Structure 1
Amino acid sequence: MSLPVEDLECPVCCDIFTDPVLLSCSHSFCRECVRLCWETSGSRECPMCRKRASKAAPTTNLALRNLCETVLEARRESSSTEEKEKEKEKEKEKELNCGLHEEKLKLFCLLDKQPICVVCYLSKTHKNHDCSTMEEAVVNCKHELSTTLTSLQEKMDSLKRIHTNSNDTIDYIKKQALKTQQEIKAQFEQLHQVLHRDESERLAALKREEDEKIAGMRDKVGEILEEMFSLEECFNILESELNADDMSLLMNFKATQDRCSSLPLGPVNMSGTLIDVSKHLSNLKYSIWENLNDHLEYTPVTLDPNTAHPYLILSDDLTSLYYSGLSYGCPDNPERFQMSAEVVGMNALGSGSHHWLVETGSNRDWLLGVTSVSAPRNVDISARPENGFWTLCYRDGEFRAMTSPPTALSLATEAHVSRIKVQLDYNNGTLCFFDCSGDDTLLYTFESTFTEMLLPYFYTRSQHPLRVLPENVIVTALRNEVSKHVK
């Protein structure tokens, strides 16, 4: 609770107390005021009640002094604030006046975008400049700034969306990298298994041959030992006969000679006893590659997952697609089709001849063909040549070439078409579609002059997959025949 200012004034000087003292009669005065009063009157009496004060020095009224100092400080701050406000008002008045002519600013130059005074308007500086009143300028400038603010807000909202999408893209990149790493490992593991199996079979064949050769040599060693034993017996008999008397030698001569002549004295056949190393090592890497070839698949067209509509599901090997109807959380990158369930192949085609075979199976809603690399992907347009699309459509049980307008196609047979071959001859400007379910029946041919790179194109709204079929890989070795001429 604050006291009235009158209660804080000294009764002698009628001003705020300065170093107030408290007399025994409970009256307060400034220390200097009460001293002057006592000196003037010659007695130590209270200036108000005339009660005689004690001879001791009057005590300081601490509570009253603190309160007075607070009031004085508040007055000083108030005075300083008022001075600042006055200075601001003066500065504002100066701002409202022309800095060159000190005239009041009443006009706004539309060319220089600044307030001017009448003298400025008549001077050479702003001669022939369009001007408006300050009131009109305020309205126009506010409208312009408001428009700018709206534009900045839209940019800010766009940047926020990009920021959010960027963070989502980082998470998606990590998932992509992990999934791709797993697929790479899986495919290498398949190759490792083939190589390990081939290695085991080749080592087993070598082991079998080693065992067979060693067993054969052991049989030969046994035969040689038997022959050596027989020869040793014959050698002993001959020595014995040679040391016998003449009559005994002659009587046993025929038997001894027959026994010695019955022994096989020819050379031992040692051909084919060694391991056929060349059979195991000759062109070993090439033989391994030929064996791998039986386990390899080459698909002429693989799909680009970064272009697939969010509702499309692609296989791990990027050769098939189907429509799920649910988004799997892919980012909104510029390459992706956003309006329709479309996807394109990885490699752009700019020259030469190309073909790929698509298994449509039970799918009853698809488009196949090619599209130019610059065809828009974030707008809903028809897949027709004027928009950069050359496609064949199958929908509602009918085939249509997507010309302008579409061309209905009638098939010679009513058999279900389950395989479509797309054949592009870029240089000659033709795109052909064939029914490869049976015979390669030509369905339709587009003729055009292609002016930019093309991408294989796929569309479907069916949960039955479209699949690009692999082709056979043929490995051949080129052997150069060198003829030598001897002179």
Structure 2
Amino acid sequence: MASVLEEDLSCSVCHAIFKDPVVLSCSHSFCKDCLQDWWTKTQIQECPVCKRKSSRSQPPHNLVLKNLCETFSLKKDQREASPVSRRGRGGQDLCSEERRGAEDQSHRGEMVSYTPVILDPNSAHPELILSEDLTSVRREKRQKLPANPERFDSFYPVLGSEGFDSGTHIWDVEVGDSTAWFLGVAAESVERKSTTWSGMWRIGFFNGIYKAFSPSASPTVLQMQKMLQRIRVDLDRTRGELSFSDLDTGIYIYIVRRTFTEKLFPYISNGDKFPIKILPYEDEDDNYGW
């Protein structure tokens, strides 16, 4: 039986791990060849899953998903090629040792699957420029874009294309040299044409100060020992927990505990010309030096 992660990384057309995946505007991804073959056979340029029409004959590559699939396939091949390497002294399964190690490191949290995040261009503020693969965002001059209902008109935000109403999801963000950013989650009903802060749970950096923001509380100043570069966002709908941690150290930055009632979408706001990037999957053991 395929693992949950392997199922998430499988093309719904060929049912194999994605090869050279591309992403449609509806956020569904497919192998490039599978999608082109599907369109050739059906003579209709639409999503094979939701049937939404696609205006682009050459959809952008999903580089985040591609990197995730390559990493998964490599590790799977290594496990299959070296089954003995997973055993410790006395034949003890190293997986159990790793699990105990993770439990001992309280700042690590639960072991969960990485969630590839693709940004939704329809929600992006008019002064934001998204990369071709929809994983990076920076602020530039205001563009002439349709004032569609999904689009924000203040604070320079963009949402992820997929929302979550169950399960546990993590994604990593590189804020880099941006001096004005916020990231977290936004409720599906968040007001797009207003300057209110309701329906959003975030941390941010502005005027040289780190703060945490929740709808029902005053901003909380966060005392950081060093400048943040890479941040992990961990959303656990089952436990009602949203946490932010420093990806380079594994130390928690801020935790929100509440009962979320709506679907939540990844949220990024960038008021700087320096890009903020959704990072591809990296092995956690490598990140923390295990």
TM-score range, shorter chain: 0.5 to 0.7
Which 4+ stretches in 1 moved above 4 angstroms?
none
Distance 1:431 1:290, change over 3 A: closer
- Larger RCO, structures 1/2 (Cα 8 Å, 6+ apart): 2
Residues 399-447 of structure 1, C-alpha deviations (whole Å, 9 max, x = no match): 1011321000112x23x211011001111111100011x3111011011
Partner of 1:421: 232
Residues 44-64 of structure 1, C-alpha deviations (whole Å, 9 max, x = no match): xxxxxxxxxxxxxxxxxxxxx
Q: Is the 8 A contact 1:299 1:468 kept in 2?
A: no
Partner of 1:181: 57
Distance 2:273 2:62 in 1: 26
State the 1:363 CA deviation.
0.8
1:434 partnered with 2:245? yes
Q: Structure 2: state its 5+ residue gaps.
A: 1-52, 67-71, 78-113, 284-290
Q: Structure 1: state its 5+ residue gaps.
A: 1-175, 192-288, 474-487
Task: Name the one with the larger helix percent.
Answer: 1
State the 1:177 CA deviation.
5.9
Secondary structure of the residue that 1:394 maps to in structure 2? strand
State the 1:182 CA deviation.
3.6
Please give the TM-score of this superposition, normalised by the length of structure 2.
0.59
Q: Which of 366, 371, 386 does residue 181 from structure 2 map onto? A: 366
Q: Which of 197, 204, 218 does residue 405 from structure 1 map onto? A: 218
How many aligned positions are there? 185
Distance 1:322 1:464, change over 3 A: same
Secondary structure of the residue that 2:235 maps to in structure 1? strand
Q: Is the 8 A contact 1:343 1:457 kept in 2?
A: yes
Secondary structure of the residue that 2:161 maps to in structure 1? coil
Bigger Rg over Cα: 1
Q: Which of 439, 460, 463 does residue 270 from structure 2 map onto? A: 460
Partner of 1:319: 135
Q: Quote the RMSD (CA, aligned, Å).
A: 2.7
Task: Name the one with the larger strand percent.
Answer: 2
Secondary structure of the residue that 1:406 maps to in structure 2? strand
Q: Report matched runs for 1:51-450 at 5 Å.
A: 180-184=56-60, 300-327=116-143, 329-382=144-197, 387-403=198-214, 404-411=217-224, 413-414=225-226, 416-436=227-247, 438-450=248-260
Residues 344-384 of structure 1, C-alpha deviations (whole Å, 9 max, x = no match): 001110011111000111011100000100111011112xx
Please give the TM-score of this superposition, normalised by the length of structure 1.
0.36
Residues 184-241 of structure 1, C-alpha deviations (whole Å, 9 max, x = no match): 4x789xx9xxxxxxxxxxxxxxxxxxxxxxxxxxxxxxxxxxxxxxxxxxxxxxxxxx
Distance 2:73 2:243 in 1: 34
Secondary structure of the residue that 1:463 maps to in structure 2? coil
Secondary structure of the residue that 1:300 maps to in structure 2? coil
Q: Is the 8 A contact 1:433 1:442 kept in 2?
A: yes
